[in-house]
Structure 1
Amino acid sequence: MAVVVLALFTLGVLWIGGRIDTALAGERTGPEGLPRITVHAGDTLWEIADALTQEGDAGRTVRHIVDLNGLAGSAVRPGTRLYLPEGLIR
Structure 2
Amino acid sequence: MVVLLALFSLAVLRVGGRIDMVAADERAGLEGLPRITVHADDTLWEIADALTKEADTGSTVRRIMDLNGLSGSEVRPGARLYLPEGLVSVR
User: Normalised by the shorter chain, which TM-score bucket?
Assistant: 0.5 to 0.7
CA distance in 1, matches of 2:39, 2:88: 17
Query: Which residue number corresponds to residue 76 of structure 1?
Result: 75
Unpaired segments of 5 or more residues in structure 1? 1-27
- 1:20 is aligned to none
CA positional deviation for 1:81: 0.1
Q: Which has the higher contact order (CA 8 A, sep 6+)?
A: 1
SS of the aligned residue for 2:55 comes to coil
What's the offset of the Cα at 1:36? 0.2
Between structure 1 and structure 2, the one with the greater Rg is: 1
> Unaligned 5+ residue runs, structure 2?
1-24
Q: Between Structure 1 and Structure 2, which shows a larger proportion of strand residues?
A: 2
Percent identity for Structure 1 against Structure 2: 75
- Correspondence for 1:29: 26
1:54 aligns with 2:48: no
Q: In 1, Cα distance between the equivalents of 2:58 and 2:50?
A: 12
Q: Count residues in correspondence.
A: 63
Q: TM-score, normalised by structure 2?
A: 0.66
Indicate the RMSD between aligned Cα atoms, in angstroms: 1.3
In the TM superposition, residue 43 of structure 1 has moved relative to its aligned partner by 0.2
